[in-house]
Amino acid sequence: MSTPSLERDRTTTEPRGNGRWINHWTPEDPDFWNRTGKRVAWRNLWLSVLAEHLGFNVWTLMSIVVVSLDDVGYSFTVGQTFWLLILPNLVGAALRIPYTFAIPRFGGRGWTTTSASLLLIPCAMLAGAVTFDGTPYWFFLLTAAAMGVGGGNFSSSMTNISFFFPERRKGLALGINAAGGNIGVAVSQLLVPFAIHLGTGVNLSYAALMWMPVIIVSAACSWSFMNSLTVAKPDNTSYRKAVTSKHTPVMALLYIGSFGSFIGFSFAFPSLIGIVFSEFSGFTGVAFVGALIGSVARPFGGWLSDRLGGARITFWNFVGLALGTLGALLGVRAENFAVFFTSFVLLFVLTGIGNGSTYRMIPLIFKVETSERVRRTGEDEDLAQKAAKRQSGAVVGIVGSIGAFGGVVINLVFKFSLQANGTLVPALLAILVFFLACVLTTWWFYVRSRFAIERFPNLAHAHI
């Protein structure tokens, strides 16, 4: 017979509606974590990775399809093409905030199942758009907008997983979760071109149909094997504090520089190769390399941040991004495709590392700030840190949403630069200036020793 203490330590699951909710979750307790927490957390992580991965597969579909629309009789201008790239970014970014708040409302299990199932809608729309002759441009725009539901998955997935893991494991876990999603860009860019050329001619409908069975399997697995945590229930005070925290806009700016750049470059890279270096248009088939390397680099950024500090890694990462942009600029000016391609691959690597390091900073900023407040005020440490976790979870969603809007801005900059000047030079100059601004912002708020000592006296131990 179990003792009361063991009952308190056991992970208990109680039904709520049609869901399966875990009411006791203390991953910071080593005994709890090693006995039951680790197994449950990693199971939920891998299922979250699958659903989020499919979200990115669908989110980026249009960026691959547009390259082949000419082959099936659709001749869109540069401006029209870029709007097909911008709309998924725009809708995906806008959905990230409500997707974040869906986790406390519906639970990780329920919302992961729902968000995965929604991916069937844009797939069906794309299959119809490219199957019937004479599909109007407005329907392609509507289809591109519907693909934005895949972009929303990221925030809900990251918010959900952030509650499952202890602080010492969170950087790696969030890095794996994010990388599993991000790599969906590369997988689509690699597999979709092969799929659409199966058989004779170009079969663009295969780009959508190939994902639909996997989406159904993912939704079924999420419903059958995932859990929801009551610790992630809504806390209006904590969420209001998250929205009004001065760290939220700062971290959002930095995430625009990392993830916004990653997703913006990922959507545009195949088209940029074909437009700017048309004689190398055959290389659009290897554009997946950039997104692949950037995705793999993301957990490395989280791992480095766990050991060296997220702020330090983020600072030097933006220095590298500025240098990589300078290399791409030189490649365009010299009409040297090798320099341009290599520089963009470097940019993908660094945006991946920056994605991991910036996200790692968020929970630690709130953890350390809360610890210092508790030390001054004497409030209950456990309750304060639970509220801090909810705050950081909300900030993850807000920052993820605003960061995704960076992809919209980058594609708009590319669009206007190519339309107005016929070259990428003005766009790359603007991006270079922005990266330099991110370098200064990171240094000013999180690297300066004076600020670190006064604002976060435990900074050296917390590795913000």
pLDDT at 449: 61
* Closest-CA residue to 147 (of 246, 209, 55): 55
Q: What is the mean pLDDT of residues 373-381?
A: 81
How confident is the model over 248-288, as pLDDT tens digits?
899 999 999 998 999 899 888 888 888 888 887 777 778 88
Please say if the pLDDT value at position 146 is more than 90: yes
Mean pLDDT of the chain: 85
Please say if the pLDDT value at position 16 is more than 60: no
How confident is the model over 311-351, as pLDDT tens digits?
889 999 999 999 999 999 999 999 999 999 999 999 999 99
pLDDT at 238: 64
How many CB atoms are located within 10 Å of the residue 20 CB? 18
> Global pTM?
0.78
Please say if the pLDDT value at position 113 is more than 80: yes
The structural domains of the chain, ordered by start, are: 14-462 (1.20.1250.20)
Q: What is the mean pLDDT of residues 422-445?
A: 94
* Closest-CA residue to 240 (of 387, 402, 455, 377): 387
Query: Which of 8-12, 39-43, 364-368, 410-414 is predicted least confidently?
Result: 8-12
107: alpha, beta or left, given left = phi > 0 and alpha = psi -120 to 50?
left
Model confidence band, residue 2 (pLDDT cutoffs 50, 70, 90): very low
How confident is the model over 193-244, as pLDDT tens digits?
889 988 777 889 999 999 999 999 999 999 999 999 987 765 566 667 777 8
pLDDT at 9: 42
Q: What is the mean pLDDT of residues 423-430?
A: 94
pLDDT at 298: 82
Model confidence band, residue 453 (pLDDT cutoffs 50, 70, 90): very low
